[in-house]
Amino acid sequence: MTRSLANAELVIASHNQGKVREIGELLAPYGVEVVSAGFLGLPEPEETGATFVANAELKARAAAMAAGLPALADDSGLAVEALNGDPGIYSARWGGPGKDFDLAMRKVAEALGDHPNRRARFVCALAVAWPDGEIATFEGTVAGDIVWPPRGGQGFGYDPIFQPLGHTITFAEMAGDAKHQLSHRADAFRKLVAACFP
């Protein structure tokens, strides 16, 4: 059984403020005090894993060891069917050194061209690591379609070009509460909550 995180202090192993904010909102009902790796000045480890889960584990372990606290890492990205699952684990890197997601979204649109298959999915792997080496992982997904041009000013990353199945608006056009109901991160969080908040 996974250890409880109720009322814990937890390091969010990310320097991405959009991601830290979203994770903080998802954890707020559970009395968890969160602090970001960026705020603590922790270095970002190189993501050398071949999967979302491997990269999440790598980041969580590094933050837990450096901070001496439990750490939660998220590795997530966009997998486009017609692009053989790209950008996948390289989703942030498609934005170049500055992680420019306007550039990354343009690259996806250009790579797709007029391909009739617009199907994609967001994938999120969460890893919780404790300083003594224990680790637990949870994975979530949400299916949708790539739209162009980008729409909406909410969210972050690829949200403006991702329209979840069954909806007529993109993640970036949704209020945070609506996105939290169906996102890949929310799917993974439901699994984490069931395991870590008994």
- CATH number where 178 lies: 3.90.950.10
Residue 66 lies in a domain: yes
pLDDT at 33: 86
Diameter of the chain measured on Cα atoms = 50
Other Cβ atoms within 10 Å of 112 Cβ, number: 19
75 is an active site residue: yes
Residue 124 lies in a domain: yes
Check whether the bond before 150 is cis (ω within 30° of 0).
Answer: no
Residue 29 lies in a domain: yes
Catalytic residue among 75, 86, 159, 187: 75
Residue 3 lies in a domain: no
| Predicted TM-score (pTM) of this structure | 0.88
pLDDT at 29: 87
Domain tally for the chain?
A: 1
In this structure, are residues 72 and 13 in contact, taking their beta carbons and an 8 Å threshold? yes
H-helix segments, 68-145: 101-112
pLDDT at 94: 97
Residue 4 lies in a domain: no
Residue 1 lies in a domain: no
Q: Which domain holds residue 21?
A: 9-196
From first to last of its 198 residues, what are the pLDDT tens digits of the chain? 578 888 788 999 988 887 888 888 888 888 888 899 989 999 889 889 999 999 999 999 999 999 999 999 999 999 999 999 999 999 999 999 988 999 999 999 999 999 999 999 999 999 999 999 999 999 999 999 999 999 999 888 999 999 999 999 999 999 988 888 898 988 999 999 999 987
Residue 91 lies in a domain: yes
pLDDT at 1: 53
Q: What gap in Å lies between CA 69 and CA 74, rounded to an integer?
A: 16
Residue 2 lies in a domain: no
Task: Please give the helix or strand (H or E) that residue 162 lies within, else none.
Answer: strand 162-164
Q: How far is CA 87 from CA 58, 63, 95, 141, in A?
A: 20, 25, 10, 15
pLDDT at 167: 96
